[in-house]
Amino acid sequence: MDSQGYSLVTSINNGSRSPVEQERAPPEPPAAPVDNMENQDTVGSVQLRRSFWILIIASLYAVLVLSSWILTCILSVRPLTTASYSFDDYFIPAFSQDTPHDSIDSSAFVTNEKWYRAARVMQTIGTVLTIPITSAVCSNAAVVFIQRCGKSSKMTLRMLLALADKGWTNTDLYIQLFKGPVSCWNRYFTSFLLVAIALHVLGALIAPLQSLLLSPKTIKVPNSPKAISVAHLFQGQTADSTGITLSMLSSAALTALRSANGNSYNEQIWAANSPRTETHEGECGTTTQLVRYSQLDDPFIAVLPNDFNTGLVRQRTQRLNSSTHATFLSQEEPFINCKAGRSFQKQYNGIGWAVAVCAPVLWDDNRWQSPWNRRQLRQDISEELYLHFNFSNPNERDKLLKSPRHSTLLKITANTTAGWFELPNYRNANKPGPLEGKYLSSPVKNLADVKYYQTDDSLEKLVAPGPLLAMTYAIFGARDSFMSICATALNSDVLSSDASLQDVQFCSNAPLLAFLDSKSGQICIGSDQSPRAYHDIFGDYNAMNTPYGRNWEALTYWLVSMGSFQTDTKRISDAFETGLALVNTAWAEVAGSIPVGSIDDYGVMFDLGADTLVPKISQASIIAISILHSVYLISLLCVASYAAFYPKWTSSMNGFAMMRIGAAVADRMPLLITYKEDEIHALDKIPGWIGGTSLNGSCEEHDSGKNSDQVAKLELGSPCRLRGKQKYACYEADQITEKKRQGGSDRYEKARGPRAPI
C-alpha cells in the first residue's frame, strides 16, 4: 500500500479532471493558492462536528419497535382496557350460581382490539423501516470508522468503497465474494463491514420469525351474561315438603312411553363425547337416538336440552342415567319372596294370557319410602321388577294358569345414578363433562340425607319414586295405566256393545313395543323371534278381524315380545333401558313444568361471548423474540451512539463524500471505462482512511495540538488522526453555517465582501 497521503483540499480548485482533460482544457485564470490557505474568504475552516440526528432517528425507531412488541406481548396475555379475557375474573368462581360481582363493559374489548390493530400497524411500519434505518446508521458510523482506523488497520481504498457502496446491502459485493477465492474476502472486508452485515441480518431475521411464531387468533370474551332457573330434581329440605309423586311421574311417563317410536327424537338425551344429532346413518339406514340409546357413549338425561351451551361460563346441572339387566329365572322363589314382602303387586289375565307383576318398594316407619335422598350429592339406587308370564292356546282356557303352554319369569334389574355434570362450554371443547358427585367445587352445606315418603297411605303419593317403579306403575299399576285400560276393555263387552268404540285401539301403541318388535321397522335393534314365538304359543288361533280380535292380538304380541324364552334378553334390556330414559325425561319435564316459587331451583349462567382478535404466541416464542429484539436494538443504538458522539469530517458516506475522496486521487483514478473493478490494483494500494495534517504537511505539528487555531487539512491515508478541536479547511457554506450558529453571520458577511467562485 502506498504511504503517500492525498490531500482533499487541493480538489477544491483543481477539480477531478484527468491529466488528458487538463491538457485539452483552455487556460484558466490563476486560482488562489488554496494549499497555503492565504485566501481565508474562499476556503473557510471549521472544527469537526457531532451530529445527533442519526441517534435520535434510531431511538425513535427503537421506541416504535419496542412499543409494538410490548403491546403484542401484553395483549397476548391480558387486555389493556380491562382486567382479563377470562369470564371467571369478573365473576364469582366457576360453577357458582351467584350473581356477578363486577360488571362487564363489552366496549372495552372493542377498544382493546383497536390497540391490537395499532400494534400490528406499528409492527408493519417497523418492519418496513428496519433495513433503511439500519443502513443509515451504519453509513453514518462508517464515517467515524474510516477516520479512526488509522494506518495500523491497513485499510485500502477498495475497503472504503465497500463501505461507501453500503456493502451490507450490496448484492454485487456478495456475488463478487462468492465468485472469487477466499483470499478475495480480505480485499473487501473490514471489522465494521462484518458488524454492519451482522446487524442487518439480525434485523431482517426478526420480522419473518415474528410472523412465523405470532398469529392473530379470534377468541370469545365476556359480552352479556344471563342466567336461567333450573328445577331441582330432588325437591324440598324437609320430609313433608311437596315434590314429584309417583302419580305425577307415572302419568307423564306413560305418555312418553306410548308416543315414543323408532322415529322419535328426545332433546333431553345427552351422550358423552357425542355431538347433537337427530339421526344417524349406519348399516341399518337412518335411525334416531332412541333406537340407538343403549349404543350411545354414557347416555343420560338432563333438564336442559342437549344443545345447551354455557359459552364462557363453567356451570353444572343435574343428570340421571339408568342401566338395566334382564334375565329369565328358572326358579320362582325370588318372585314368591317379592310378593311376601312390601311391594307393588298387580295381576292381569285374559283369554290365552296372564301376567303377574311384583316390584319391591322400601318401607320404613309404616310408610312407603323413596330410594332417593334430599341431597345434592351423587346418589346410586337399584330397583327390581318381576314379570311372570303365562300363555296358552285360547282354545284351552282352563289350562292357562294350571298347566300353561308357555310360562316364564322375567327379572329386570335397574341401576340409576343421579349426579351432576359440567355443561358444554368453550373450555371443555363444547362437550358435556363426566359424572360428578358435587354440586359446587366444595360440599354443599345444610343438606341432610333426608328420605322421601308418601304424603298419605297411598303408594301413588310416594314422593320421588325410582324410575323403574314409575315405569311399572305407568304400564301396570294406575287406574289409567296401559294394562288397566287394555285388560278392562278386553274383559268386558264394551268392544262389542258400544258402537262408538268399535275402532278404538285400546291395546295399540304398547309401551316399549317399538324397541322390542321388528315389525316396527327397526330390525337393527337386535334379532327378534317374537313372530315365531307367537306362532309357537298360539298356534293357528285366529283372533278374527274384530275390535276385540285386533286389541287382543296387539296385547298378546306385546306380552310375547317380553315374556318368550325366544326373545333375546339383550333386546329386552335395551328396550327397558330406553324406557327408563323416557321416564327420566318425564321426571325432568314434570320438574320443569312446576311454577317458579313452588319448587326448589338453581341458576345456570351462560354467556356465549363476543368475538375479538388477540395475538397468539407461546411463552417460549416471546422470550426468544424478546432476546433478538434486545440484541438488535442495543447493537443498533450502540452503533448510532458511535456515529453521533464522535466528531466527523462529513455527515455520511454518501456520493458527495466519495466525490471529494476521488478528487484527492484523481491522478491515480482517472475517469475511464472499466468493468473489472476487482482487477484495478490501485484500489488495493491507495490507503482508505481519512486523517489530518498541518498545512505544511507536518504530522507531528498536527498531533501536538499546539497550533489548534491554525487551519489544518484532511488527507487520505494520513498517519495522523483527526482531532476534534482542530480547525480544518472547509467549504465556504460550512463556515457561513458555523458563523450563523455562533451568531456572527452579519459581521462575517460585511468582512467577507463579494463571494469568490469555488
Beta strands 353-360 and 299-302: pairing type? Answer: unpaired
pLDDT digits (tens, 9 = 90+) for 474-521: 999 878 889 988 888 887 765 555 545 555 677 888 888 888 764 443
Residues 714 and 716: their CA atoms lie apart, in Å, by 7
Cα–Cα separations (whole angstroms), residue 425 to 65, 224, 329, 418, 546: 38, 15, 46, 21, 56
Cα–Cα separations (whole angstroms), residue 444 to 59, 374, 439: 60, 12, 7
DSSP string, 474-490: IIIISTTSHHHHHHHHH
Whole-model pTM?
Answer: 0.69
Beta bridge mates, 229: 603
What pLDDT score does 289 carry? 61
* Helix, strand, coil share of the chain (percent; to 5): 45, 20, 35
What pLDDT score does 400 carry? 52
pLDDT digits (tens, 9 = 90+) for 14-73: 444 444 344 444 444 433 334 444 444 456 778 888 889 999 999 999 999 999 999 999
Q: Helix or strand or coil: residue 356?
A: strand
Q: Which helix (H) or strand (E) holds 587?
A: helix 569-593
Main-chain phi, psi angles of 287, to 5 degrees: -130, 165
Q: Helix or strand or coil: residue 464?
A: coil
Q: Which helix (H) or strand (E) holds 373?
A: strand 367-374
What pLDDT score does 683 carry? 82
DSSP state of 463: B
Burial of 557 (0-12, 13-18, 19+ CB in 10 A): buried
Q: Helix or strand or coil: residue 619?
A: helix
Regions of the chain short of the pLDDT cut 50: 3, 10-41, 92, 99, 101, 237-241, 280-287, 441-448, 499, 518-530, 745, 747-758
Considering only CA atoms, which of 404, 408, 546 is closest in space to residue 489? 546
Beta bridge mates, 463: 245
**301-340: string of b/e by CB count within 10 Å (b at 16+)?**
bbbbebebebbbbbbbbbbbbbebebeeeeeeeebeebbe
Considering only CA atoms, which of 644, 669, 696 is closest in space to residue 156? 669
Q: Which residue has the cell 480480505?
A: 186
Yes or no: say if 663 and 11 are a contact pair by the CB < 8 Å rule.
yes
Beta strands 6-7 and 711-716: pairing type? Answer: antiparallel
Yes or no: say if 722 and 702 are a contact pair by the CB < 8 Å rule.
no
Residue 549, C-alpha cell as written in the block: 280380535
Enumerate the H helices of 300-353 as residue ranges: 333-340
Q: Which residue has the cell 307393588?
A: 344
Residues 653 and 655: their CA atoms lie apart, in Å, by 7
